[in-house]
Amino acid sequence: MTASWYQRTIGTEVEFSGVGLHTGEENTVRLKPAPVQTGIVFVRIDLDPPVHIPLDLAHRREHPRRTSFAVDHAEVHTVEHLLAVLHVLGVQNLFVEIDGVEVPGMDGSAAEFFDGVQAAGVVDQELRGRTLTVREATGVQAQNSSLVALPGDERFRVSYTLHYDAPQSITQYQSFNIDAETFRREIAPARTFVLESEVKELQSRGLGRGASTVNTLVIGPDGPVDNELRFPDELVRHKMLDLIGDLYSLGSKISGHLIAHRSGHALNSDLAVKLSEVYSRERDVEEILIGSHRGLEIRQIQKILPHRYPFLLVDRILEIHDNVRAVGLKNVTYNEEFFQGHFPGQPVMPGVLQIEAMAQLAGVLLLRNTEDINKLAYILSIDNVKFRKTVVPGDQLILEAELKKMRSRTGQVQAKASVDDQVVAEATIRFMIVDAY
């Protein structure tokens, strides 16, 4: 995971109207703010009752020359340009109301969507945003096309090679580190395009009914028909735009380097599915950590901490406040293994295990603050340790950890444990943050 950031929505509603590139129908899209953990949800308000279509891979539908999502028979088409804007701006919670099946094509680019969303304002929310960090080469291919995701340097980079052999030879290459400024200047204005030789065949299939030389670059042997290029390599830049939008079906920012060769919507979707499968554990853990302010039960804790019985000493995490304070509990029972040999005639919980329980709670707190969920927290030092009261079977140990310092490789936590509102142990614990593998 790259440096921590917050989920985002928009500050005010914003509306776009225009003709769908494929249906030719006039539609209006209205973007509305949404609470944390909503995700991107398309709402077909022209249906009775309205149908909510979540942006996720389970609802992806295959249609030629566009990206579509559906619930049952309710579909929404040509969403990729809008999604590219939301991806780059980090908008992860949004209601997208639409009064028809297709998102307006506008001028064939993402520029109007970008400017409209920025004008509405992008607002940070209270929970951490989702990021998928590429850790190993992951790729897909089909015939003469390929798409590979490689580890990067905590940024999102896209490199794309476009090539057509016939009826005209076109080869273009471009590569950018993707951030909001670069996207708006170099990619968002790039318009959708079609080869002149393809037009009749696409129209015979019912596609491109709303396309014109105003909103679509029609590329003939001598260049665009009745239009002018915004960039000499506008075609490859638009392919990059589509790729950025298509991969937002993951619902996450991406940290890594995407290298595409003649990739289109179908292959882009295939890579999204592959990344979701390869990083399923990381995505599951991230969702647990994002929602951990509400508390974690034992199965969720086991997905985060490497410890297992009899050495997992946190039964439940009750709450996490603003990534700086956590509260958990440990139920102390006579069946604990350590009671069999530690003062067996008068069982007392070892003080070192009280410290360990506090350290395990602190480990979850630190993990929420590190830049990478694939990290572990090893104890560096324990200072100012005090044991104030014995802990015996039947006690419920309330654990508290407060983050005092956090750096890229170390963290310091003030921890304490209480029984019946009386402090039984406390310590200052320093940790080293290391790779889990």
- Closest-CA residue to 313 (of 432, 217, 397, 216): 397
* Contact partners, residue 410, CB within 8 Å, separation at least 6: 380, 430, 431, 432, 433
Catalytic residue list contains 163: no
Does residue 295 come out as left (phi exceeding 0), alpha (psi in the -120 to 50 range) or beta? left
DSSP string covering 205-238, please?
TT--TT--TTTSEEEETTEETTS--SSTTHHHHH
Cα–Cα distance measured from residue 373 to residue 27, given in angstroms and rounded to the nearest whole number: 42
Cα–Cα distance measured from residue 381 to residue 158, given in angstroms and rounded to the nearest whole number: 43
- Closest-CA residue to 286 (of 255, 316, 258, 263): 255
What is the separation of C-alpha 13 from the centre of its chain, rounded to a whole number of angstroms? 23
Question: Are the C-beta atoms of residues 337 and 350 closer than 8 Å to each other?
Answer: no
Catalytic residue list contains 63: no
Give the pair of three-digit tokens for residue 48. 């009775």
Cα–Cα distance measured from residue 162 to residue 263, given in angstroms and rounded to the nearest whole number: 8
Give the pair of three-digit tokens for residue 17. 């109207």
Tell me which of 22, 87, 265, 293 is the catalytic residue: 265
- Closest-CA residue to 251 (of 70, 54, 23): 54
For residue 401, the surrounding DSSP H or E stretch is strand 396-406
Which letter, b or e, does each residue of 166-182 get, where b requires 16 or more Cβ atoms within 10 Å of its Cβ?
eeeeeebebebebeeee
Does residue 119 come out as left (phi exceeding 0), alpha (psi in the -120 to 50 range) or beta? alpha
Question: Are the C-beta atoms of residues 375 and 394 closer than 8 Å to each other?
Answer: no
Active-site residue list: 265, 342
